Amino acid sequence: IQWEKQVRTSAQIHRSGGMSVLVTGAAGFVGSHVSLALKKRGDGVVGLDNFNNYYDPSLKRARKNLLESHDVFIVEGDINDFKIVSKLFDTVAFTHVMHLAAQAGVRYALENPMSYVHSNIAGLVNLLEVCKAANPQPSIVWASSSSVYGLNEKSPFSELDRTDQPASLYAATKKAGEEITHTYNHIYGLSITGLRFFTVYGPWGRPDMAYFSFTRNILQGKPITIYRGKNKVDLARDFTYIDDVVKGCLGALDSSGKSTGSGGKKRGAAPYRIYNLGNTQPVTVPTLVGILEKHLKVKAKKNMIEMPGNGDVPFTHANISLARKDFGYKPTTDLQTGLKKFVRWYLSYYGYNNGKPVN
């Protein structure tokens, strides 16, 4: 391992009272944005990512290049690798861990269930084992998911609502993550904050998500498949713009370890907290498509089909009052504006000019 010097440099703090943060999943969508935001305000940041091929790894490499141009270094490794994760903590006394590495996506679990167990359960436990032994122990903020609400029909979703009806293996592993982190908080006094993200979208986003793949297909003149619920009810999502989620992550990091706040119960010495990070403005999928058509200036070819029951839930809708109260979380970007920014990024990243590909 020859990365120690780069890791130390990347972890240097450039503001008083700053933190040194290990960001897992730093080459991912949310992780790359959070890493950049932390670095820009003067915190020390080191990334860890295994660059897996769940989606186009060249996009992860491009995010890595962007981060490196801002002096954020990403170690290539797996959160399941005890040696690498321990070595990182031997090299830097991280004050915080922003844990975003995971196997995301709902449908991929139908063919690749063990990938969820590997990253979202075994990898999480491995990371917690290292954190538990670290001196000082870092405060951990990690990504759970709105999917834990599953088939809950109460709207909007509040943190204390039932989460015992997961609709996918992905949701079940996130729910398991909440139980596992709670246990480590209880037994080992680790400070834990879980953030339930609601359909995050924006520039540098994930190609497996609907808004992204719809954009690709619309531009290529290919049909898109829109799922509907029973009785032709449209699916709706509480789409949340990446910059709002980043602000929520930084707010959660800044307030972590200090007090339990209202988002949590106090068990032993350290806080355990869970917060929704959503937008509180659910939008139906056909409305999303309409906005994309407008920004792309192309009509979509739509196939409407009934949801095949493979893990999707009919709707999501966040109540965000706890995050607002405890760390001032206040999303400001509506879907129109956020998708405009996404489309602008997409066209430039994939080399389009006036809606036409540039050779």
Q: Return the number of the residue (102 or 219) whose C-beta is nearest ligand NAD.
A: 102
Cα separation, 16 vs 261, whole angstroms: 24
Cα separation, 41 vs 217, whole angstroms: 37
Single out the segment in contact with ligand NAD by CB under 6 A; choices: 9-17, 95-103, 250-258, 343-351: 95-103
Phi then psi for 267, rounded to 5 degrees? -120, 115
Of the residues 10, 19, 21, 29, which one makes contact with ligand NAD according to CB under 6 A: 29
149 residue type, one letter: Y
Cβ neighbourhood burial of 12 (10 Å; 0-12, 13-18, 19+): middle
Q: Return the number of the residue (77 or 264) whose C-beta is nearest ligand NAD.
A: 77
Cα separation, 37 vs 246, whole angstroms: 8
What residue has token string 């954020």? 72
Q: Which residues are catalytic?
A: 170
215 lies in the binding site for ligand NAD (CB under 6 A)? no
Q: Number of residues interacting with ligand NAD: please give it, by CB under 6 A.
A: 27
Of the residues 3, 28, 36, 346, which one makes contact with ligand NAD according to CB under 6 A: 28
C-alpha gyration radius of the chain:
20
200 lies in the binding site for ligand NAD (CB under 6 A)? yes
Cα separation, 274 vs 175, whole angstroms: 12
CB of 68 to ligand NAD, least distance (A): 15
226 lies in the binding site for ligand NAD (CB under 6 A)? no
Single out the segment in contact with ligand NAD by CB under 6 A; choices: 72-80, 178-186, 305-313, 341-349: 72-80
178 lies in the binding site for ligand NAD (CB under 6 A)? no
Of the residues 6, 12, 80, 165, which one makes contact with ligand NAD according to CB under 6 A: 80
**134-173: contacts with ligand NAD (CB under 6 A):** 143, 145
CB of 16 to ligand NAD, least distance (A): 30
315 lies in the binding site for ligand NAD (CB under 6 A)? no
CB of 294 to ligand NAD, least distance (A): 22
CB of 142 to ligand NAD, least distance (A): 7
**268-287: contacts with ligand NAD (CB under 6 A):** none
49 lies in the binding site for ligand NAD (CB under 6 A)? yes
Of the residues 74, 79, 124, 320, which one makes contact with ligand NAD according to CB under 6 A: 79
CB of 15 to ligand NAD, least distance (A): 25
Single out the segment in contact with ligand NAD by CB under 6 A; choices: 13-21, 101-109, 216-224, 303-311: 101-109
By beta-carbon distance, which residue lies closest to ligand NAD?
Answer: 28
Cα separation, 98 vs 34, whole angstroms: 9
104 lies in the binding site for ligand NAD (CB under 6 A)? yes
Q: Return the number of the residue (14 or 111) whose C-beta is nearest ligand NAD.
A: 111
Single out the segment in contact with ligand NAD by CB under 6 A; choices: 22-30, 130-138, 246-254, 300-308: 22-30
105 Cβ neighbours under 8 A, 6+ residues apart:
54, 170, 208
Single out the segment in contact with ligand NAD by CB under 6 A; choices: 9-17, 85-93, 97-105, 286-294: 97-105
Binding site for ligand NAD (CB under 6 A): 25, 27-31, 49-52, 60, 78-80, 100-104, 119, 123, 143, 145, 197, 199-200, 206
